[in-house]
Amino acid sequence: MSPPAVRQQPTAAGRTGGIARGIADEAIAVLRGSFPDGAAEIARIRSERPDRPTVVVVGETKRGKSSLVNALLNRPGLSPVDAMVATSTYLVFRHGEVNHAAAVLPGAGRPVTIPIDRLRDWATELGELPEGQPPPRMVEVECTAPLLTNLTLIDTPGVGGLVAAHAEIALHAARQATALLFVVDASAPFARSELDFLRTASESIDLVLFAVTKIDAYRGWRQIVETDRALLRTHAPRFADAEMMPVSSQLFERAVDAPAPEVARVLRTESQVIGMQIGLQSRVAAKADALHDANVLRGARSQLAAYFRALAAGIAAVDPDPAKVAQMRADRERLVAQRRSDARTWQLTMRAQMGRARTDSMLDVQREVRDALHRWRIEIDRADRDSLKALPREVDAVLQATTLRVFDRILGRLRSVTEVVLHQMFAPDELEDVYAGLARAPTIRATLAPPEARQQTVEDKIVMFGGVAAGLSAGRLVAFVPAMLGAGAASVVMAPVSIGLGLAATTWMVFSRRRVAEKNHLKVWIVEAMTEARASLESEVASQFIDAEHTLTLALDAAVQRRVDALDAEVRSIDAALKLDAQQKDRRRQELLAKQAVIRQVVAKVDTTLQTLQTSGHGAQAGVQLPALGGGSA
């Protein structure tokens, strides 16, 4: 007879995980009947679990996210980095036996393989996609970096500025996160857009790590960190005591070209990248199960809080303040009246502001083109042969960067126009919807045609024949001198020398003339190219303002209508409550209060379990072997 099976005792982490799953079931049960969207969101978070824990790197544009990703992977230049490059889709970095990249295209059944050295074209605003090819939804990259053995990294677009699509892409990527790595830099504190994004993205993410980049470039980075903490205490108190990890991607990258191993070791240590690599492994990869449970609880808490607020609004509507009701009705009538009476005023103000902004943007284009033309003429005069060959590609890249620079200024001016036109009617948070409607990426992506091959002219032929004649004359003169001195043998010896000198002189004259002609040809091309670029940019600017004026008009009407509809809905709710007698009101209030009491009980359990998970460091996951990390070759 076989011995009885011994029941294995669950670990503390296992018991906490079981409790977390039970609380999530309770939250779904509370929400399912009256708040079904919240119940569905908790179920989504629980069901969507990647095969490897995923760290999503987020932050405002130009904060150094891609440089940090490259440093963490020890792959300089892998994720596109450039002073004027902005990531426009998100890049998913997974472990693979060989380096490989594939783009996930809209409507495509499977990813399309792309050259890994062309990630800049497929994933950034300055990229050059094949003609007619829409931008990819995401780009998947496999590489042999040790960090990716137990982790997946996702590099996202910047969340700042007016391009609402970038923030949406980053939020979509954040929904896949086991943990967030929020990147700020040492040049400036948190921007408002970053704090807003942090609050939204962390609604279902429990662990958020903060990286402070560019500490090598800004000596006052510690003061910036203190300012960031103060902002977090005010706007996102949950993260007031979060760890801020200083790091320098540039120092880590410079270690690759260090003159000695000792110098490379010092640079890697000072960069603090290795410490962050170890931190991601120990705090995320080794604790994926507990982090997933914590994320489910964090999402449940957010949804329960939203339902609690909805119940509070319902309680307020049961026994409304007469003064508040009268104020709401007056607000509605004022909005409707203003939409009728002030439409003409808004339109005239908007057109005046738009005209001024359009003029300033046109002057921007003229100044950018004029400065670029002056700069490139000087560069052509200084350039050697190899630089001349590379010139068309460099001009094209600068033109694309100029387009984005002009576009950013246009968006800033459109935002100012919006504030001038609408600030009297709308609060700052209400204006964000209008801003999002204005934002669209520039459509100009024209690649400059390379200069045509220079045709040989009559002047070239004259100079060539003149050079030949001059060279031969110089050679004869060299041979004639010994003959005049009576040195016949010397004249025979000097004959080949004279021929060589003649050919050398001819070659030098022809080569010099050709170099000058090539530079003049490129100067003519650069003038033509920049003239075409100016026309394209001016056309794009005009198109932007035409579309923006139309969009702003529609956004204004839509915003007013949304506000009227919201007031109507609240007034209807209050009117229905006013028809109830005292007993019915009391019964309705007690029903809503009872539901709030249930929510409080579940939220208390959530908070207790989250605190247990956090106190234990989110637990430790067995079976995870941490690979060797650092700055050595991998």
CA 544 → CA 358, 477, 592, distances in Å?
Answer: 9, 70, 49
pLDDT in tens, 134-161: 667 778 899 989 999 989 998 887 655 4
Find the range with the poorest average confidence among 15-24, 173-182, 318-327, 517-526. 318-327
CB-CB contact of 282 with 616 (8 Å): no
Distance CA 411, CA 586 (A): 52
Among residues 415, 324, 404, 307, the alpha carbon closest in space to that of 365 is found at: 404
Does position 341 have pLDDT exceeding 70, yes or no? no
pLDDT in tens, 560-574: 677 677 767 767 776
**What pLDDT is attached to residue 213?**
92
Sheet holding 100-104, edge to edge: 112-114, 100-104, 138-143, 90-95, 152-155, 54-59, 179-185, 208-213, 244-246
Residues 6+ apart with CB under 8 A from 485: none
Query: How would residue 225 be classed by pLDDT, with cut points 50, 70 and 90?
Result: very high
Does position 484 have pLDDT exceeding 60, yes or no? no
Residues 6+ apart with CB under 8 A from 416: 353, 357
Query: How would residue 232 be classed by pLDDT, with cut points 50, 70 and 90?
Result: very high
Q: Higher-confidence residue: 31 or 520? A: 31
Length of the chain: 634
DSSP state of 64: S
**What pLDDT is attached to residue 446?**
46
Q: What are the helix (H) ranges across 441-487?
A: 458-484
Task: For residue 518, give the amino acid letter.
Answer: E
Mean pLDDT of 430-439: 58
Query: How would residue 256 be classed by pLDDT, with cut points 50, 70 and 90?
Result: confident
Does position 228 have pLDDT exceeding 70, yes or no? yes
Measure CA 279 to chain center.
Answer: 24
DSSP state of 424: T
Residues 6+ apart with CB under 8 A from 247: 68, 71, 211, 212, 213, 215, 271, 272, 273, 276
Does position 626 have pLDDT exceeding 50, yes or no? no
Query: How would residue 502 be classed by pLDDT, with cut points 50, 70 and 90?
Result: low
Query: How would residue 2 be classed by pLDDT, with cut points 50, 70 and 90?
Result: very low
Q: What are the helix (H) ranges across 319-427?
A: 322-341, 343-382, 385-422
Does position 598 have pLDDT exceeding 90, yes or no? yes
**What pLDDT is attached to residue 28?**
92
What spatial distance separates the first Cα and last Cα of the chain, rounded to whole Å? 54
**What pLDDT is attached to residue 633?**
38
**What pLDDT is attached to residue 499?**
57
Among residues 634, 78, 630, 612, the alpha carbon closest in space to that of 297 is found at: 612
Task: Give the percent of the chain with pLDDT over 90.
Answer: 15
The three-point CA angle 405-347-423 to 5° equals 70
Does position 29 have pLDDT exceeding 90, yes or no? yes
Mean pLDDT of 257-275: 89
Does position 340 have pLDDT exceeding 70, yes or no? no
Question: E strand or H helix at 113, and its extent?
Answer: strand 112-114
Burial of 384 (C-beta count, 10 Å sphere; 0-12/13-18/19+): exposed
CB-CB contact of 208 with 242 (8 Å): yes
Does position 351 have pLDDT exceeding 50, yes or no? yes
DSSP state of 177: -
Does position 179 have pLDDT exceeding 50, yes or no? yes
Does position 492 have pLDDT exceeding 70, yes or no? no
Does position 586 have pLDDT exceeding 70, yes or no? yes
Mean pLDDT of 81-86: 48
**What pLDDT is attached to residue 605?**
92
Task: For residue 11, give the amino acid letter.
Answer: T
Distance CA 154, CA 173 (A): 7
Look up tokens 């603090």; give the residue.
272
**What pLDDT is attached to residue 435?**
60
Look up tokens 């009101």; give the residue.
585
64 phi and psi angles, rounded to 5 deg: 95, 25
Mean pLDDT of 52-60: 88
